């Protein structure tokens, strides 16, 4: 019998087989009628799961799909720790055995609401009251750490021949994000940074300004990605896409002297203090870590006394100046590894300024022409 009642439980249970697989569990229903309805829904889910699993020829449990995604591509992301954390969060929320075929739009919407209710995490011990006083995670964080991660799992499953009858409507799940500001570095600010710069970190920050690369992309830059012969830096950018950046004379002058400082990573620093526990010897060179780069940036900004300028603004500065010099949005899109031209359009105000200058020049020329005509008359 597919629906039965165990004397030891107040609820009816279901137990049936489909496609060679057994499906069973509690209906959480206390009447046979409701239990039969619940079992009918479970049979429909079972049919969809077996059908999709046969096409994929692999388990569609979210934990298993995440594991295959990790081995296939996620382990090569620029920020593998964040990817691992985000996948683990979804697995914990849905449960490791939850099939992707059972995650419909409503289930995904509930997950977004759950993630949206969480608060920003800060290092250090805090009381319960202090934890509650922390701000909620931003819409951008919800989109990036939850919705798009779940969508990535679905997209990967579809490459395995899975088709979803009730896939979430991703566009409707994405939360509105504020328009990101574009902050350009002024000449006097650049000079202030130069004056406050530590010599061992100077090449790191020089490449950031010359390439528009993100902090983690520079920190993880390896010599295997640098080819002086072909004059290219070939790396995996955001989203796992292959990115090629030219080694110009300026970039070559930054990187060439760094050879031999570390066998694997490009950027290093000189230890100011020793640490026996970590095996760090004062005066020796070690690879720059992400935490070390963040600390060095905070110190540099404080010493330079440059306000309202984030590390990511170096990237905006690069994009703005490149568009101003080239006037080519597609070129800037490729240089900055933007998947969508809309991301590059944030720098279009530069072109607007050029148009305004051209219109102003035209008006002046027309005025001079009219004055000459009037004098002649």
Q: State residue 41's pLDDT score.
A: 87
Residues 158 and 10 in one domain: no
Residues 80 and 145 in one domain: yes
358 against 251, higher pLDDT: 251
Asked if the model's pLDDT at residue 229 lies above 90, the reply is yes
Asked if the model's pLDDT at residue 100 lies above 70, the reply is yes
Q: State residue 325's pLDDT score.
A: 86
- Residue 336 placed within a domain: yes
- Residue 279 placed within a domain: yes
- Residue 178 placed within a domain: no
103 against 368, higher pLDDT: 103
Residues 92 and 168 in one domain: yes
Instruction: Report the share of the chain in percent with pLDDT over 90.
Output: 51
Residues 267 and 160 in one domain: no
Q: What is the mean pLDDT of residues 267-277?
A: 92
Q: State residue 111's pLDDT score.
A: 97
Residues 192 and 327 in one domain: yes
Residues 34 and 137 in one domain: no
**Total tally of structural domains belonging to the chain:** 3
Asked if the model's pLDDT at residue 181 lies above 80, the reply is no
- Residue 235 placed within a domain: yes
User: pLDDT, tens digit, for every residue of 31-62?
Assistant: 989 998 998 888 888 877 777 766 666 889 99
Q: What is the mean pLDDT of residues 264-293?
A: 93
Residues 14 and 76 in one domain: no
| Domain around 136 | 62-173
Residues 145 and 293 in one domain: no
Q: What's the pLDDT band for 368 if we cut at 50, 70, 90?
A: low
Q: State residue 292's pLDDT score.
A: 92
Domain boundary among 118, 144, 173: 173
3-state secondary structure the chain: CCEEECCCCCCEEEEEEECCEEEEEECCCCCHHHHHHHHHHHHHHHHHHHHHHHHHCCCCEHHHHHHHHHHHCHHHCCCHHHHHHHHHHHHHHHCCCCEHHHCCHHHHHHHHHHHHCCECCCCCCCCHHHHHHCCECCHHHHHHHHHHHHHHHHHHHHHCCCCCCCCCCHHHHCCCCCCCCCCCCCHHHHHHHHHHCCHHHHHHHHHHHHHCCCHHHHHCCEHHHEECCCCEEEEECHHHCEEEEECCHHHHHHHHHHCCCCCCECCEEECCCCECCCCECCCCEEECCHHHHHHHHHHHHHHHCCCCCCCCHHHHHHHHHHHHHHCCHHHHHHHCCCCCHHHHHHHCHHHHHHHHHHHHHHHHHHHHHHHHHHHHC
User: Any idea what the CATH number is for the domain that residue 202 is in?
Assistant: 1.10.443.10
Residues 248 and 344 in one domain: yes
- Residue 263 placed within a domain: yes
Residues 164 and 275 in one domain: no
Q: What is the mean pLDDT of residues 264-280?
A: 92
370 against 119, higher pLDDT: 119
Instruction: Report the share of the chain in percent with pLDDT over 70.
Output: 90
Q: What is the mean pLDDT of residues 231-235?
A: 91
* pTM for this model (two decimals): 0.58
- Residue 358 placed within a domain: no
Q: What's the pLDDT band for 87 if we cut at 50, 70, 90?
A: very high
Domain boundary among 56, 71, 87: 56
Residues 193 and 302 in one domain: yes
Q: What's the pLDDT band for 149 if we cut at 50, 70, 90?
A: very high
Domain boundary among 117, 149, 173: 173
Residues 328 and 207 in one domain: yes
Asked if the model's pLDDT at residue 227 lies above 60, the reply is yes
Q: State residue 120's pLDDT score.
A: 86
Asked if the model's pLDDT at residue 307 lies above 80, the reply is yes
Q: What's the pLDDT band for 7 if we cut at 50, 70, 90?
A: confident
- Residue 280 placed within a domain: yes
- Residue 366 placed within a domain: no
Asked if the model's pLDDT at residue 377 lies above 60, the reply is no
Asked if the model's pLDDT at residue 15 lies above 80, the reply is yes
């Amino acid at each position: 019998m597919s629906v039965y009642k165990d004397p030891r439980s107040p609820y009816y249970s279901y137990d049936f087989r489909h496609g060679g697989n057994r499906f069973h569990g509690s209906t959480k229903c206390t009447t046979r009628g409701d239990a039969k309805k619940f079992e009918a829904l479970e049979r429909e889910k079972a049919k969809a799961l077996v059908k999709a699993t046969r096409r994929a020829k692999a388990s569609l449990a979210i934990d298993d799909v995440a594991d295959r995604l990790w081995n296939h591509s996620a382990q090569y992301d620029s920020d593998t720790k964040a990817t691992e954390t985000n996948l683990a969060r979804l697995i914990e929320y849905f449960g490791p055995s939850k099939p992707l075929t059972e995650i419909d739009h409503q289930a995904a919407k509930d997950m977004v609401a759950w993630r949206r209710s969480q608060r920003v995490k800060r290092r250090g011990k805090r009381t319960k009251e202090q934890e509650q006083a922390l701000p909620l995670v931003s819409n951008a964080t919800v989109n990036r750490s939850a919705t798009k991660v779940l969508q990535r799992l679905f997209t990967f499953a579809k490459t395995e021949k899975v088709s979803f009858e009730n896939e979430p409507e991703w566009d409707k799940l994405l939360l509105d994000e504020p328009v990101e500001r574009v902050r350009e570095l002024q000449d006097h600010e650049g000079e202030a940074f130069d004056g406050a710069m530590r010599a061992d970190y100077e090449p790191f920050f020089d490449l950031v300004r010359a390439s528009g690369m993100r902090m983690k992309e520079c920190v993880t830059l390896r010599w295997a990605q640098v080819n002086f012969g072909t004059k290219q830096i070939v790396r995996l950018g955001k989203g796992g896409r292959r990115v090629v950046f030219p080694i110009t004379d300026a970039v070559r002058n930054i990187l060439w002297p760094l050879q031999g400082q570390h066998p694997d990573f490009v950027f290093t620093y000189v230890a100011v203090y020793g640490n026996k526990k970590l095996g760090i010897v004062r005066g020796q060179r070690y690879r720059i870590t992400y935490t070390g780069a963040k600390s060095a940036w905070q110190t540099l900004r404080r010493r330079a006394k440059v306000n309202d300028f984030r590390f990511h603004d170096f990237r905006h500065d690069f994009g703005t100046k490149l568009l101003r010099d080239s006037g080519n949005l597609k070129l800037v899109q490729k240089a900055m590894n933007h998947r969508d031209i809309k991301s590059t359009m944030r720098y279009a105000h530069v072109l607007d300024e050029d148009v305004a200058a051209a219109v102003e020049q035209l008006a002046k020329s027309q005025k001079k022409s009219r004055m000459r005509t009037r004098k002649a008359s």
